Amino acid sequence: MPERGAALIAGVERPPPVEARGARLVRGKASGLSGMPLLRQKLFPGEIKFFNENPDVAGMAADDDKVIFNPDSGLSQSELSALYKNETTRIFLRQGRFRMPEFDLTEKQKAFLGGGSYAGASASNRKATIAARILSGDPSAGVPTPEQRTYVEELKEAIAISPSWWRSPVKKPPIR
């Protein structure tokens, strides 16, 4: 039987998460992070290790379809909100709620995703990364192509983006 608070993810039992370091994450509501239902503020030991080894990674869509932030990222509240949009979009795509992008990446986007934590990522994952970054307004996505802009507009429509969407649970629309 799993330990109380443990998670069974992809058939592998993980120990319960531990409190993340950093007041910004631990306090949640006090620092303005309330209203983010997919945010998990407690990190698994492996996630803490990952962030320690990859300090340039500010957050990610975890295996349990929750968004986690690097407690040492130092991002502002507006940057955390944009990161949350980015990662919830990644979760939306991963869950099959919209078709994965099939557009081509620009040479600059390929170069950007060619190293670091994206070095071993699949082409599909790299394209989803760019789409989510375009959607969240992240300049690291580079200049989107017309095909990328069209895909992101369709994605926005599919997840019914409104000012309140990011603060309410994701609704599952039909797959297009």
Residue 57 included in any domain: yes
Residue 174 included in any domain: no
Give the total number of structural domains in the chain.
1
DSSP assignment of 82-130 equals HHHHHHHHHHHHHTTSSPPP-PPPPHHHHHHTTSGGGTT--HHHHHHHH
Residue 85 included in any domain: yes
**Residues of the chain above pLDDT 70, percent:** 71
Element (H, E) at 78: helix 77-94
Q: Which amino acid is at 153?
A: E
Residue 173 included in any domain: no
Domain with 67 in it: 17-167
Residue 6 included in any domain: no
Backbone angles phi, psi at 99, to 5 degrees: -65, 145
Residue 73 included in any domain: yes
Residue 9 included in any domain: no
Closest CA to 141 of 102, 103, 110: 110
Residue 78 included in any domain: yes
Crossing angle for the helix pair 77-94 and 123-136, to the nearest 10 degrees:
140
The string of pLDDT tens digits covering residues 67-119 is 999 999 888 888 999 999 999 999 999 988 899 999 999 999 999 998 777 88
Distance CA 130, CA 151 (A): 11
The string of pLDDT tens digits covering residues 34-70 is 678 899 989 999 999 999 999 999 999 999 999 999 9
Cβ pair 135, 141 in contact under 8 A = no
Distance CA 27, CA 152 (A): 33
Asked whether residue 175 carries a pLDDT value surpassing 90, the answer given is: no
Asked whether residue 150 carries a pLDDT value surpassing 50, the answer given is: yes
Closest CA to 95 of 165, 19, 169, 153: 169
